[in-house]
């Protein structure tokens, strides 16, 4: 099976909401992040974009606001898991939602990066999960959940026990996965306007970075890093963008 550019390695990480990219890209060497813009004219934003992701959030520069609460309504979904050559991704059936105030986004997929792409005060996490959502008009919202070494996560353990071969996908109708098992209990967040963190690096993505992390065991992290030792885009310049934090 050929490599696929899935929806966001959201940056969204996200990967692109497009079909297969016409040029291969990677996280190192001549096809790595510093060269993405050279690989295809459609990737131009990776080099000249002014609202790129990920970023390093400097808390002292963040403005606290009475932001709308996040309301997650995630449902269990039969497992459809993809190794697309850049990350491990889990596609979600229709019916799982994120509501931010009066705005509703449907969960499309979630995937992982090692180490975390986002940083706070210069510090990242061992991994991050990106939950990619789309609204009725096609707008994207990506929720980032930091993952640090600690207690095991039963849902991730289930995912890893069904990993397909690299560049393959697999479906298990009798295995149900609820993405909510990866969300922290506390839902305070940072938010800003950014981009996909993979080619074509399209901008206009609504980013939600949860303040509270979850944990994975050392073995769970090692399972992912055995496939993807580094699938994180370097942090990008803020270029005057405003980062808000929920009170």
Q: What is the largest CA-CA distance in the chain?
A: 48
With a cut of 70, say whether residue 78 has pLDDT above it: yes
With a cut of 50, say whether residue 6 has pLDDT above it: no
Give all domains of the chain, ordered by start, each with its CATH number: 9-246 (3.10.200.10)
Give the residue-averaged pLDDT of 131-144.
Answer: 98
CA angle 55, 141, 92 (to 5 degrees): 120
Question: How sure is the predictor about 108, in pLDDT bands with cuts at 50, 70 and 90?
Answer: very high
Percentage of the chain modeled with pLDDT above 70 = 91
- Segment 90-100, tens digit of pLDDT: 999 999 999 99
With a cut of 60, say whether residue 22 has pLDDT above it: no
What does the pLDDT read at residue 20?
Answer: 38
Question: How sure is the predictor about 247, in pLDDT bands with cuts at 50, 70 and 90?
Answer: confident
Residue with tokens 């509501």: 99
- Segment 179-206, tens digit of pLDDT: 999 999 999 999 999 999 999 999 999 9
Give the residue-averaged pLDDT of 195-223.
Answer: 98
Give the residue-averaged pLDDT of 15-24.
Answer: 46
Residue with tokens 């979630």: 110
Give the residue-averaged pLDDT of 114-136.
Answer: 98
Kindly report the average pLDDT of the chain as a whole number.
92
Give the residue-averaged pLDDT of 62-85.
Answer: 96
With a cut of 80, say whether residue 5 has pLDDT above it: no
Beta bridge partners of 13: 10, 11
Give the residue-averaged pLDDT of 159-180.
Answer: 96
Q: Are 129 and 155 in contact (CB under 8 A)?
A: no
Three-class secondary structure assignment of 8-50? CEEECEECCCCCCCCCCCCCCHHHCHHHHHHHCHHHCHHHHCC
What does the pLDDT read at residue 16?
Answer: 40
Give the residue-averaged pLDDT of 227-243.
Answer: 97
What does the pLDDT read at residue 65?
Answer: 87
């Amino acid at each position: 099976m050929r490599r696929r550019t899935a929806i966001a390695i959201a940056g969204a990480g996200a990967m692109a909401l497009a079909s297969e990219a016409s040029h291969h890209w990677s996280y190192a060497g001549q096809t790595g992040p510093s060269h993405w813009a050279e690989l295809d004219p459609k990737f131009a934003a990776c080099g000249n974009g002014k609202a790129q992701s990920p970023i390093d959030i400097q808390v002292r520069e963040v403005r606290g606001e009475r932001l709308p609460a996040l309301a997650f309504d995630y449902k269990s979904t039969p497992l459809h898991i993809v190794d697309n050559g850049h990350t491990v991704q889990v596609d979600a059936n229709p019916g799982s939602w994120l509501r931010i105030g009066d705005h509703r986004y449907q969960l499309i997929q979630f995937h992982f990066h090692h180490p975390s792409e986002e940083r706070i005060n210069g510090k990242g996490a061992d991994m991050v999960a990106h939950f990619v959502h789309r609204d009725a008009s096609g707008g994207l919202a990506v929720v980032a959940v930091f993952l640090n070494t600690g207690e095991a996560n039963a849902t991730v353990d289930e995912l890893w026990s069904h990993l397909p071969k690299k560049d393959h996908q697999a479906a298990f109708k009798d295995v149900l996965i609820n993405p909510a098992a990866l969300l922290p209990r506390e839902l305070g967040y940072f938010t800003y306007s950014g981009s996909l963190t993979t080619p074509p690096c399209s901008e206009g993505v609504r980013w939600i970075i949860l303040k509270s992390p979850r944990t994975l065991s050392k073995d769970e992290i090692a399972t992912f890093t055995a496939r993807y030792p580094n699938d994180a885009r370097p942090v990008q310049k803020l270029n005057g963008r405003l980062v808000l934090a929920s009170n």
